[in-house]
Amino acid sequence: MPPPGEWRCAAAIVPAGRTATFRLDCGNRTVNGFVVNDGAGYRAYVNRCPHVGTPLDLWPNELLAEDGRALVCSTHGALFEPATGRCTAGPCAGDRLTPLPLTLEGDTVVVRCVGE
Ligand code: FES
């Protein structure tokens, strides 16, 4: 079991062009998030669309557009850059996903709660 405030997975589970969802225990709240590997690196975001606040994935872990280049919100179709979380199209254009601190420790992806 990872310590509270931390989520870990083997980097190999999230190859380029893939995502993985997780729940992070952050003290008195649970944060639903996801990791995306865009081929250039790993990023983690809170799984909450800045438009209405719903999770991006209607079907679990269905987070990427068909071409695999953008994250997509299944509620109203907003598109996000995997590398920055910036919304490039849709009702929240210019807004951003909330990033979570992510580090690579050897072959392990480690995501921590904000501020820990
Ligand atoms: S809730 Fe995501 S685009 Fe509307």
Nearest CA to ligand 1 atom 4: 76
Whole-model pTM?
Answer: 0.95
CB-based pocket (< 6 A), ligand 1: 49, 51-52, 54, 73, 75-76, 78, 90-92
Amino acid 2: pLDDT: 67
Q: How many whole angstroms from 56 Cα to the centroid of ligand 1?
A: 7
Ligand 1, atom 3, lies closest to the CA of 76
pLDDT at 3: 73
pLDDT at 107: 96
Fold of domain 6-112: Rieske Iron-sulfur Protein (2.102.10)
Considering only CA atoms, which of 87, 91, 62, 82 is closest in space to residue 74?
Answer: 62
Structure-block tokens of residue 110: 């480690």
pLDDT single digits (tens) 74-104 = 999 999 999 999 999 999 999 999 999 999 9
Q: What is the pLDDT of residue 97?
A: 98
Q: What is the pLDDT of residues 21-73, one digit of tens each?
A: 999 999 889 999 999 999 999 999 999 999 999 999 999 999 999 888 999 99
Question: What is the model's pLDDT at position 79?
Answer: 98
Mutational pocket test of ligand 1: of 63, 92, 97, 98, the residue with most ligand atoms within 8 Å of the beta carbon: 92
Is it the case that residue 115 has pLDDT exceeding 70? no
Annotate the chain with three-state secondary structure: CCCCCEEEEEHHHCCCCEEEEEEEEECCEEEEEEEEECCCCEEEEECCCCCCCCCCCCCCCCCECCCCCCEECCCCCCEECCCCCEEEECCCCCCECCEECEEEECCEEEEECCCC
